[in-house]
Amino acid sequence: ENKKVFMSCNLLGGFFQRLESVRKYAFGSFGVFGEDDNNDIMGVWVFRGQDVPFEVLDCPDYESYEFTKIELTEDNKKNFNAFLAWGEIDGLAKFNVTTKKFNQGKNFKC
């Protein structure tokens, strides 16, 4: 959808801005993968509780992203840790997440 990497980063920054009210009980680590004309946004969220908070569901950007609750299997733990440690994120190809190179990252934190 976004042609340039900076546009994807700006989209992610705007999403984070609109989620200010959930900052107290959410953490996210996201990356923009690929290059200009071929990039994707992917990341992980940690929410307090078992469900996606109402503030996230109510955000206009919510529909632009796919949310999937994961089980804590060994592979999912490694995948999650790779998102948190951007230095290892190019290893996500072995988890069938993406083959695109990590370009930039952003964290949503308190």
Domain with residue 95: its CATH number is 3.30.70.1010
Between strands 38-47 and 102-108, the pairing is unpaired
SS3 44: strand
pLDDT of 19 above 90: yes
Q: What is the pLDDT of residues 51-103, one digit of tens each?
A: 999 999 999 999 999 998 888 899 888 888 887 887 666 656 555 667 788 88
**pTM: predicted TM-score of the whole model, two decimal places:** 0.82
SS3 46: strand
Higher pLDDT, 24 or 88: 24
Mean of the per-residue pLDDT values for the chain? 86
* Domain range for 32: 5-108
The per-residue pLDDT for 93 is 57
Domain count, the chain: 1
The per-residue pLDDT for 92 is 64
